[in-house]
Every structure is written in C-alpha cells, then in structure tokens.
Amino acid sequence: MKQWFGDWPCFHDAEVISLLLARAGESVLRVYPHYPQKPATVEFVLRDISDVELDDFSGQNVISSLAIEKATGQYGEDVYRLTLGPCYGIAGRIDAKSVRVRLTPGANPDGVSQG
C-alpha cells in the first residue's frame, strides 16, 4: 500500500463498499479511501473472526477512521482488532486471528461515488 499511496492511507471519509462475514475461514472488508489522484479499493482479509460489534449498516457507509491493533479478545486470546470509526453508516470493531491487506488500483468498483 505504501508503494501506491506513498504511506499508510488515511481512511477519513473512506467508504465501506462491502463486508462479507464468514463464521470460519476468511471474511473480507472492502474499503474505498478518498484519494482522487490514486483511486483504489483496499481489502482487509480477516481470518477466523472471534467477535464482531457493528452498528448502522446503510446504503452509504462512510467511516471517520480505520485502525488495526493487537488486542486481547473476549476469551483472553490474542487478536487483531480492526476498528471502524463512526461517521455515517457502519461503525464498530471486528476481532480476528489474522489480517492481511490487498490493494486493487482503480475507480470505486460498485460505481457509486462518495457524496
């Protein structure tokens, strides 16, 4: 991602495009950061989700921030916690055993522009 954006991107005003939750294996959160000069979709591939706390999924889901940190899960296990800061629509956190990031250059894949 640093090669594309120049640094870890700021996810302020980024839009959550989709979230696929699987009770086992891989789940995928797709986010479109607001970088007009470097459009791309960022996918967070979460493996073995152990806890989810999300609110307010909407037709448009703009976040104020996105953070990933090591944390202690609900049963005392080590997890990676992905936190979506609230703005409009979805917000909350997802705990998973591992997180991997993929980047796909190009315009917003669902064709919906941010307003």
Residue 108 CB neighbour total at 10 angstroms: 15
> Can you give the pLDDT of all 115 residues of the chain as single tens digits?
788 888 888 899 999 999 999 988 999 999 999 888 899 999 999 999 999 999 999 999 999 999 999 999 989 999 999 999 999 999 999 999 999 999 999 888 776 554 4
Contact 14, 33 (CB under 8 A): yes
* Nearest by Cα to 78 from 95, 57, 61, 103: 95
